């Protein structure tokens, strides 16, 4: 295969940063494996025997790195979305979602106790579409807004600031819970790959952020490298939501915890992302996206929709306290 074909393949695969081919990641990973007292397995579900100090250490690293109130690891982005949407929104709440959100959100909602009539899509990336939906809802219950920061099918950024402004017009902050899926921006956008909401300095405004590692971070996808065996994600959220998920989310409770091998792989990948090489590879992927579609240079850092100054000054986002949720 020519180099050009390989590049085109990478562009359309997961493994955006080609980390699965990185020799420095490979050697860091192998060295970390050698030095780690625990390497294989995890011995059980997080709720039983599967939570070790290594799991907590990686979650603390992500909590600090992504500037979040707490972090919870999942076996995949799919599991994280299904866990959240099937468990957290309660009867009487509203879930308003972009019509193009990922299938995992839909699967979570299908299992949720929120009435079908209270789960409403709005036109893709359209603040006026969101307005039309918000006009229909009553003044009771938490309003969950589910969006992605960057959509993969069309390669377009969400107009996050405009969507949040519309949400503010119709729903008071104490009833809002904004959930943003950063699957396609993790590791690529924002400082050292912290994502688009971090680049916008809006991480405090998003109650919940999903960062997945099966794409840019090389924990799965792409080539037949050892890291393709792994596939993980972290949900960044308030502590109450974290505890709630640990105790009620079925995909979390009834699944074996992430293995130590995966934890070591993720530490290694983030060691790289937080290095000069990491800056280079994420810049490369943005440049390459522009080369692939020069007539449509929508994926540059400058193209991310920015918030207005007034919007920035008023942010303070979090989900309503979990005590408001009825578990009946």
Ligand X SMILES: Cc1ncc(COP(=O)(O)O)c(C=O)c1O
Contacts to ligand X by CB under 6 A: 76-78, 81, 102, 104, 148, 152, 181, 183, 212, 214, 231, 233
Nearer to ligand X, 200 or 231 (CB): 231
Q: What is the nearest approach in angstroms of ligand X to the Cβ of residue 213?
A: 7
Q: What is the nearest approach in angstroms of ligand X to the Cβ of residue 327?
A: 26
Strand, coil or helix: 64: helix
Nearer to ligand X, 84 or 94 (CB): 84
CB nearest ligand X: which residue? 77
Sheet holding 176-181, edge to edge: 71-74, 233-236, 208-212, 176-181, 143-148, 94-98, 119-122
Q: What is the nearest approach in angstroms of ligand X to the Cβ of residue 181?
A: 5
Parallel, antiparallel or unpaired: strands 119-122 and 94-98? parallel
Nearer to ligand X, 28 or 76 (CB): 76
Q: What is the nearest approach in angstroms of ligand X to the Cβ of residue 38?
A: 23
Tokens of 184: 């396609």
Tokens of 220: 């799965």
Residues 69/238, Cβ–Cβ less than 8 Å: yes
Nearer to ligand X, 219 or 240 (CB): 219
Beta-strand ranges (E) seen in the chain are: 71-74, 94-98, 119-122, 143-148, 150-151, 156-157, 176-181, 208-212, 233-236
Q: What is the nearest approach in angstroms of ligand X to the Cβ of residue 152?
A: 6
Place of tokens 């794409």: 215
Nearer to ligand X, 42 or 149 (CB): 149
């Amino acid at each position: 295969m020519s180099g050009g074909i390989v590049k085109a393949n990478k562009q359309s695969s997961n493994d955006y940063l080609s980390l699965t081919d990185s020799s420095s990641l490979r050697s860091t990973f192998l060295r970390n494996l050698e030095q780690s007292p625990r390497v294989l397995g995890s011995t059980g579900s997080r709720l039983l025997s599967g939570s070790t100090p290594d799991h907590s250490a990686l979650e603390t690293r992500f909590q600090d790195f992504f500037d979040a109130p707490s972090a919870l690891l999942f076996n995949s982005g799919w599991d994280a979305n299904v866990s959240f949407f099937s468990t957290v929104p309660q009867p009487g709440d509203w879930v308003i979602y972009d019509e193009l959100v990922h299938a995992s959100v839909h699967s979570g909602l299908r299992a949720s106790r929120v009435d079908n009539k209270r789960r409403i899509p709005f036109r893709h990336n359209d603040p006026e579409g969101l307005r039309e939906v918000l006009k229909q809802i009553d003044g009771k219950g938490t309003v969950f807004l589910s969006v992605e920061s960057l959509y993969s099918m069309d390669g377009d950024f969400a107009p996050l600031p405009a969507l949040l402004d519309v949400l503010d017009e119709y729903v008071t902050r104490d009833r809002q819970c904004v959930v943003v899926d950063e699957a396609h921006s993790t590791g690529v956008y924002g400082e050292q790959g912290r994502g688009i909401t971090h680049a916008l300095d809006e991480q405090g405004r998003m109650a919940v952020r999903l960062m997945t590692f099966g794409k840019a971070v090389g924990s799965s996808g792409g080539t037949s490298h050892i890291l393709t065996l792994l596939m993980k994600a972290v949900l960044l959220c308030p502590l109450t939501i974290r505890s709630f998920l640990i105790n009620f989310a079925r995909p979390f409770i009834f699944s074996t915890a992430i293995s130590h091998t995966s934890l070591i792989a993720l530490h290694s990948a983030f060691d790289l992302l937080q290095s000069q090489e990491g800056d280079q590879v994420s810049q490369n992927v943005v440049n390459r996206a522009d080369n692939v579609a020069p007539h449509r240079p929508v994926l540059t850092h400058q193209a991310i929709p920015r918030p207005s100054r007034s919007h920035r000054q008023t942010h303070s986002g979090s989900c309503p306290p979990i005590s408001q949720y009825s578990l009946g």
